[in-house]
Amino acid sequence: MPKIKMWSTLIVFLVLCSFKVECYNVLGIFPHFGKSHFDIFAPVMKGLAEKGHDVTVLSYFPQKSPMKNYKDYTLKLNNSALSMGDMIAFDQLPGIRMQRYLEPYILGIFGKEACEFALFSTPVQQILDSKKKFDVIIAEAFNTDCFLGLAHKLKAPIMQISSSTILTWFNPRFGQPMNPSYISSCFMGFSDKMTFLERLENTIVVGLHTMYYNLYLLPKYNSAAKKRFGKDLPSLKKIGNNVSMIMINSHWSISRPKPLSPAFIEISGVHMPKLKKLPLNIEKWINESKDGVIYFSMGSMIKGHTFPEHKKQAFLRAFGRLKQRVLWKWENDTMPGKPDNVMIQKWMPQFDILCHPNVKGFVSHGGLLGTTEAVHCGVPVVVMPQFGDQHTNARALEAGGGGIVLDFHNIEEDTVYRALKTILDPEFNKKAKQLSERFRDRPMPPLETAIYWIEYVARHKGADHMRTAAVNMPFYQYLLLDVIAFLILALAFTIFIVYHTIRITCGMCCKKTQKVKKS
């Protein structure tokens, strides 16, 4: 009997994987409840399953229909107040600068849910109990590291994945340069060319946020992880510095160029599905517009009907002055004062709409998914960033020629009209199309890139060899503070010696001359 079982297992194995490719057991750990994050991770995990790897996923988002090679362990939110993270109202966003400084504090609140509740939940225990041997573990790099404890317990090489550009405090772990002179904090919304004051603000914010994470949040996560996995668990910082690689939802064409450590893999575009046919009514609306169509959506997280009335009217009046038709993603059945060239609908297939050749503009909140889709399709964007990384996405898009930023406080009929006129200009459209070509021109499509590096880490049982020496260097050595201090001392010493030599020599000279004078 055992022999037959062995043979049948072997046959299944050979059928599932082609002969050349090895099958790996991959675990995905995604303990954040934001759906837009999982929209980046799901295609990667599904892509692995489709290639024949055995995929296990711990998340809040189980597959709706079962998928071959894909097993879900589903987390449930304890603090139901947090589910408002899916849908927020405009008046919950103060829109003040302070909000950008406090982002890590808000992320810390989400991290609390992950570390104090999800970490102790049944699905985590079930994964440990399954005694499954994983070849590689992929953990989300976002607000917390406490799930690295689980990854460590399972004794497999760890990779991380981020649904946004990298959060400041993860840079050192990958030896990734984070020079604030030209790399904006993901929350600040600067482009890569900053004025003196912007560089000053950016430097202070990057420093304070990194300190806040390492000195305030990380110790809390550490004690949660030790409580869950035992006192002998190495510190999360140690486990973190041992992570092989990080896959980032960015690309230099969208997020501005910067030097990348070999352990830093850009996979922007990984979430883009195949284009589907548009619903008939939408396609007809787009087809029949002689001058093109503008698509308006504030994403899935902000409730449309809370859009301030005055600002909504400004948009409606500006739209009324345009020849173009407008598609507005709007959650209510009616919109009073809507001109004839505006069509509202509760749900719209955003990506398919943006890639329709007759769509000439996009009004957006600067969420990274929508921004990436617009760049991919070559549609210029008017961005009204609200929170999180949106300010930085917006500035980077503007710097790349893919859109312009419209300050939410400045929304009036005229500013809106001028912004729309700007992106509808054929010259602007040409720049967006060029950006799209640069975005798509890559050695390997993003999903294949992600899968390649996951298989790479599994194949080589980790990628220690790709970590730069910067990772485990004390910060004073990394910043050369000791060398600078030594050079300053050496210079001071030299000046001291030279000064005194001159003084003594002079003194002798002077004495001689005095003697000569006296005599």
Ligand X SMILES: *[C@@H]1O[C@H](CO)[C@@H](O)[C@H](O)[C@H]1NC(C)=O
**Which residues sit at the interface with ligand X, rule CB under 6 A?**
78, 116-117, 152, 157, 234, 238-239, 242, 280, 283-284, 287, 305, 331-332, 462
Q: By C-beta, is 287 or 501 nearer to ligand X?
A: 287
CB of 122 to ligand X, least distance (A): 10
Q: By C-beta, is 304 or 366 nearer to ligand X?
A: 304
Torsion sign (Cα): 197, 384, 433, 413: negative
Q: Residue 313 has which token pair?
A: 């009217």
Rounded Cα distance, 88 and 185, in Å:
24
Rounded Cα distance, 297 and 353, in Å:
11
- Beta bridge partner(s), residue 136: 26
Residue nearest to ligand X (CB): 462
Q: By C-beta, is 205 or 243 nearer to ligand X?
A: 243
- Angle between helix 368-377 and helix 390-399 axes, rounded to 10 deg: 20
Q: Residue 280 has which token pair?
A: 């008939």
Rounded Cα distance, 413 and 482, in Å:
57
Q: Residue 368 has which token pair?
A: 């990274």
Spatial strand order in the sheet of 245-248 = 70-74, 54-59, 25-29, 136-140, 158-162, 245-248, 264-266
SS3 content of the chain, % helix, strand, coil (to 5): 50, 10, 35
Q: By C-beta, is 11 or 87 nearer to ligand X?
A: 87
Q: By C-beta, is 166 or 344 nearer to ligand X?
A: 344
CB of 228 to ligand X, least distance (A): 13
CB of 91 to ligand X, least distance (A): 13
Q: By C-beta, is 116 or 412 nearer to ligand X?
A: 116
Rounded Cα distance, 359 and 423, in Å:
12
CB of 152 to ligand X, least distance (A): 5
Q: Residue 430 has which token pair?
A: 């040409």
Q: By C-beta, is 323 or 460 nearer to ligand X?
A: 460
CB of 441 to ligand X, least distance (A): 26
CB of 229 to ligand X, least distance (A): 12
CB of 305 to ligand X, least distance (A): 4
